[in-house]
A = this chain, B = another copy of it.
Amino acid sequence: MTTASDDTLKKQFDFLLELDRLKSVVRQSRLADGSRRENSAEHSWHLAMFALVLSDHADAEVNAAHAAHLLLVHDIVEIDAGDAPIHARGIAKHELEAAESMAAERIFGLLPSAQAERFRNMWLEFEAGQTLEARFAKALDRLQPLLLNIAVGGGTWTDNGVTEHQVMERCGPSIEGGSVVLWHAAQELVRSHFNGRTSNRTDQL
C-alpha cells in the first residue's frame, strides 16, 4: 500500500502499538486493594476519570475534556524515561527532564507530523503547568496516589518513612494549585490517616 493515507494509518497504528508499552511501566503506588503496584497506563485512565468527575472543584472553570486529555497523555514519555517516584531520592531533575524530552520526541514523532506536534504540545502543556487545565491535571496527579495510599493504610508513605508534614509539603502545592476545595478535603484525609483515626477509604469526610 503506497498512498499517503495508508502511510498516515501505518504511522498511527505503530504509535498506538508503541503506547501498549505504558502498561508495563510500574509505578510505586499500590492498587486500592493492595494486591499489586499500579502501572502508568491504568493510572492514566484513572486520572482521566478523576478529571471528568471532579472538574467542578477546580478553582476556575476548566475544560474537563482537555484536562482529561492532558492526563491521558502525561505519562507516555515514561515508556522510555521510566516513572520517577515523588518520594525517591537521588534522581537529578535535569537528567530526568532531558530523558523525558527525548522520549517525547521519539514517541510522539512516530505519528504523522501535524499530529505529533499536537500531542507533544499537550505533553508540554501538562509539564509547564501554566494553563488552568494543566494545573488542575497536576493537582489530580498528586491527589490520586494520596487517596490510594490512604486506601491501603500507608502505601508509599510507609515504604519511604514519609511523615504527615512531608506529605503536606510534597502534595500541597500541586493540589492546592489546581483546587483549593480538593486540597482542603485531601488535608483532612491525610490528617485523619496520620492520626490513626481511620485506615482506609473516605469515611471520615
A180 CA to B66 CA, complexed, in Å? 28
**A167-203 vs B, Cβ < 8 Å mask (1 yes, 0 no):** 0000000000000011001001000000000000110
CA distance A22 to B49 in the complex (A): 12
Query: Are A31 and B20 also in contact (CB < 8 A) when A9-B181, A9-B185, A54-B12 are?
Result: yes
**Minimum Cβ distance to chain B for residue A39 (Å):** 7
- Indicate if the CB atoms of B24 and A35 lie closer than 8 Å: yes
Interface residues contributed by chain A, number (CB under 8 Å): 53
Taking CB atoms, residues of chain B closer than 8 Å to A39 are: 42
Query: Chain B contacts of A60 at CB under 8 A?
Result: none
Of residues 118 through 154 on chain A, the ones whose CB sits less than 8 Å from some CB of chain B are 144, 147-148, 151
Residues of B within 8 A of A6 (CB): 185, 205
Q: In the complex the two chains form, what is the Cα distance from A23 to B20 in whole Å?
A: 15
A17 touches B151 (CB 8 A): yes
Assess whether A41 is in contact with B45, with CB atoms less than 8 Å apart.
yes
> With A and B bound together, what is the CA distance between A72 and B16 in angstroms?
16
Question: Which residues on B sit within 8 Å (CB–CB) of A182?
Answer: 9
Contact partner of A9 (CB less than 8 A), chosen from B44, B73, B205, is B205
Residues of A within 8 A of B (CB): 1, 5-6, 9-10, 12-17, 19-24, 31-33, 35, 38-39, 41-42, 44-46, 48-50, 52-54, 57, 65, 68-69, 72-73, 111, 115, 144, 147-148, 151, 181-182, 185, 188, 201-202, 205
- What are 22 A-to-B residue pairs whose CB atoms are below 8 Å? A1-B205, A6-B185, A9-B182, A12-B53, A14-B202, A16-B46, A16-B50, A16-B144, A16-B147, A17-B201, A19-B49, A20-B32, A20-B33, A20-B151, A21-B33, A39-B42, A41-B46, A45-B45, A48-B48, A49-B73, A52-B72, A65-B69
* Sample of 13 further A-B pairs with CB below 8 A, known A17-B147, A41-B46, A45-B48: A1-B188, A5-B181, A6-B185, A12-B53, A14-B201, A23-B38, A23-B46, A24-B31, A41-B42, A52-B69, A53-B115, A65-B68, A65-B69
